[in-house]
A and B are shown apart, each in its own frame.
Chain A
């Protein structure tokens, strides 16, 4: 996909990877609808996208809130007129500090499922009409190795991301040949506020910067046509059409 003029919706765009991706796409002339809970941060990112040469639209909303989904979808459609790429990047750990399942309140798991699974499901459905009718759309699910590995204390997050991975596989199977490709991306460990919440003692120097990972995402979008739908790719190992 040629990035210039591409209509892209990014959730969790107020900080971290979402913000870095919005800026990376904006620099290349994309039209980006930015979704996050905090209006102020989002408006700042939208202004940065515009300053970088793109088009940024701030759409405050919580993807974990059922009431917010159609509002978000409609505002994105009003701003962009269509959707070429939908990036489900918003995500929550459930509750921090992380703790074993034995000490996890069910509400923490419910919140993780609402934001990390139901949100992407609902927003994909709400935008499915234009994506399917457009005939050439890409849905990116931002996942984690915690979806695959059973890391102690990552239960709520890991279980929700595993569910997201499987949801992505079923979406891709059902939408295969119907104009919508679904690809799951593991961004790897990044130096973000979320990572600091999860692992406050981590050596930040060992973590990838969201800006660098965002460049990998741009490559994934650019070469999406050569990635089989339903594939799970590692962002940090991805280069021009090669899936690691």
Chain B
């Protein structure tokens, strides 16, 4: 990564989201435009479809103590179908320390338990062969009781580039529905209802998927090299129909966020029927990068992502890496900010 491609981090929530910057990247012409989020409806065409991730964000960071009473942090990573959770473990400390500088967690073995609060136990059922920091646990509470304790004990996952602790409302997008995401599906964060309605009044259709956006960094080389991990998502029938109708009328399917790309393309990859997509829920392990040919998605609205990240790699399926590098240099020169409260990019031909 070149120094002139590095964007400063947005250190927290800013004022008017509509005034945030929007880098428009046209992969067909190579043209770059410096615009504002408020311009999004005019950058779309009648007949286009915006697909949003409606996952609400969980308070996925929990203080815990290890088998010998060691203080540690547990971050929810993935909800398994059988009720168990994959979780990432961190040593003592919190988000204020960069993840790669966090002390290692105590090693825990199958059959041992972590304690959260005074009554929630997480029994270790499996330890990942990749890293002992990734374990599968089963909580001692389930159903309503589990959710109640989770929301009493948990805090949003956040990283050292932020200046203050996040509240739960800071990490919800306007369309937030079921609590599935470990981190905010942040591409949808600046899209206010007024903006979405303005797009709709211009003939842009809206649809949603629910995608359990996972952790973006662990600070463990072996684990981070394998990001993004498998994530679950649900594509409703209405969205399958909206995608089909959009393509039939020659519109463009624009994914709001890399999680939506993963949900739709992961679903298309598994589709066995005559249609491009099938409704339903599934876990996708699809990793999208350079050379991947999207079957469903034509363009992506996303944050500003640095080279080397899995998000940047995903964007190379939609635009040349050289153009993306150029867009970062342009964005840097214009003072764009990065990370979840930062500015956005629209990659769309």
A interface vs B, CB < 8 Å? 57-60, 67, 69-71, 73-75, 77-79, 81-82, 126, 128-130, 132-133, 178
Question: Which residues of A have CB within 8 Å of B143?
Answer: 79
The residue that B144 contacts in the complex, of A75, A82, A129, A178, with Cβ under 8 A, is A75
Question: Which residues of B have CB within 8 Å of A74?
Answer: 56, 58, 147, 151, 168, 179
Q: By DSSP majority rule, is chain A's interface helix, strand, loop, or mixed?
A: helix
Q: Is B208 an interface residue (CB 8 A)?
A: yes
Question: Which residues of B have CB within 8 Å of A70?
Answer: 168-169, 172
Q: Which residue of B lies closest to A39 (CB)?
A: B148
Q: Which residue of A lies closest to B57 (CB)?
A: A74
Q: Are B193 and A132 in contact (CB under 8 A)?
A: yes
Q: Is B54 an interface residue (CB 8 A)?
A: yes
CA distance A4 to B135 in the complex (A): 41
Also in contact, A129 and B176, with CB within 8 A (given A70-B168, A71-B168, A77-B56): yes
Q: Are A78 and B169 in contact (CB under 8 A)?
A: no
Q: Are A78 and B54 in contact (CB under 8 A)?
A: no
CA distance A126 to B175 in the complex (A): 9
The residue that A82 contacts in the complex, of B58, B176, B177, with Cβ under 8 A, is B177
Q: For A58, A74, A81, A82, which residue has the most chain B Cβ atoms within 10 angstroms?
A: A74
Question: Which residues of A have CB within 8 Å of B179?
Answer: 74, 77-78
CA distance A129 to B196 in the complex (A): 12
Q: By DSSP majority rule, is chain B's interface helix, strand, loop, or mixed?
A: mixed
Q: Are A129 and B177 in contact (CB under 8 A)?
A: yes
| CB-defined A-B contacts under 8 Å, sample of 7 | A70-B172, A71-B168, A74-B147, A75-B151, A81-B178, A82-B178, A133-B175
CA distance A132 to B151 in the complex (A): 24
Question: Which residues of B have CB within 8 Å of A128?
Answer: 174, 193
Q: Are B208 and A133 in contact (CB under 8 A)?
A: yes
CA distance A217 to B318 in the complex (A): 52
Contact with A along B143-181 (1 / 0, CB 8 A): 110011001100000000000000111001111111100
Q: Are B177 and A79 in contact (CB under 8 A)?
A: no
Q: Are A130 and B148 in contact (CB under 8 A)?
A: no
Question: Which residues of B have CB within 8 Å of A130?
Answer: 54, 177-178
CA distance A79 to B151 in the complex (A): 13
Q: For A70, A71, A128, A132, which residue has the most chain B Cβ atoms within 10 angstroms?
A: A70
Question: Which residues of B have CB within 8 Å of A60?
Answer: 148
CA distance A130 to B172 in the complex (A): 13
Question: Which residues of B have CB within 8 Å of A79?
Answer: 143-144, 147
Q: For A67, A126, A129, which residue has the most chain B Cβ atoms within 10 angstroms?
A: A129
Q: Which residue of B lies closest to A60 (CB)?
A: B148
Q: Is B125 an interface residue (CB 8 A)?
A: no
Q: Is B298 an interface residue (CB 8 A)?
A: no
Q: Are A77 and B144 in contact (CB under 8 A)?
A: no
The residue that A77 contacts in the complex, of B168, B177, B197, with Cβ under 8 A, is B177
Q: Which residue of B lies closest to A33 (CB)?
A: B144
Question: Which residues of A have CB within 8 Å of B193?
Answer: 128, 132
Q: How far is the CB of A201 from chain B (nearest CB, A)?
A: 40
CA distance A128 to B193 in the complex (A): 10
Question: Which residues of B have CB within 8 Å of A71?
Answer: 151-152, 168
CA distance A73 to B176 in the complex (A): 10
Q: Which residue of B lies closest to A129 (CB)?
A: B175
Q: How far is the CB of B156 from chain A (nearest CB, A)?
A: 10
Q: Are A59 and B178 in contact (CB under 8 A)?
A: no
The residue that A178 contacts in the complex, of B148, B197, B208, with Cβ under 8 A, is B197
The residue that B148 contacts in the complex, of A75, A82, A126, A132, with Cβ under 8 A, is A75
Contact with A along B54-76 (1 / 0, CB 8 A): 10101000000000000000000
Q: Are B147 and A75 in contact (CB under 8 A)?
A: yes
Q: How far is the CB of B176 from chain A (nearest CB, A)?
A: 5
CA distance A178 to B179 in the complex (A): 23
Q: Are A133 and B54 in contact (CB under 8 A)?
A: yes
The residue that A58 contacts in the complex, of B144, B176, B178, with Cβ under 8 A, is B144
CA distance A77 to B172 in the complex (A): 13
CA distance A133 to B196 in the complex (A): 12
Q: How far is the CB of B158 from chain A (nearest CB, A)?
A: 16
Question: Which residues of B have CB within 8 Å of A78?
Answer: 147, 178-179
Q: How far is the CB of B188 from chain A (nearest CB, A)?
A: 10
CA distance A130 to B177 in the complex (A): 5
In the A-B complex, the 9 residue pairs with the smallest Cβ-Cβ separation, listed nearest first, are: A130-B177, A71-B151, A129-B175, A70-B168, A74-B179, A78-B147, A75-B147, A77-B178, A129-B177
Other than A74-B147, A77-B177, give 18 A-B pairs with Cβ distance below 8 A: A58-B144, A67-B167, A70-B172, A71-B168, A73-B56, A74-B58, A74-B151, A77-B178, A77-B179, A78-B178, A79-B147, A82-B177, A129-B54, A129-B174, A129-B176, A130-B178, A133-B175, A133-B208
Q: How far is the CB of A140 from chain B (nearest CB, A)?
A: 20
CA distance A79 to B148 in the complex (A): 11
Q: Which residue of B lies closest to A46 (CB)?
A: B144
CA distance A71 to B150 in the complex (A): 9
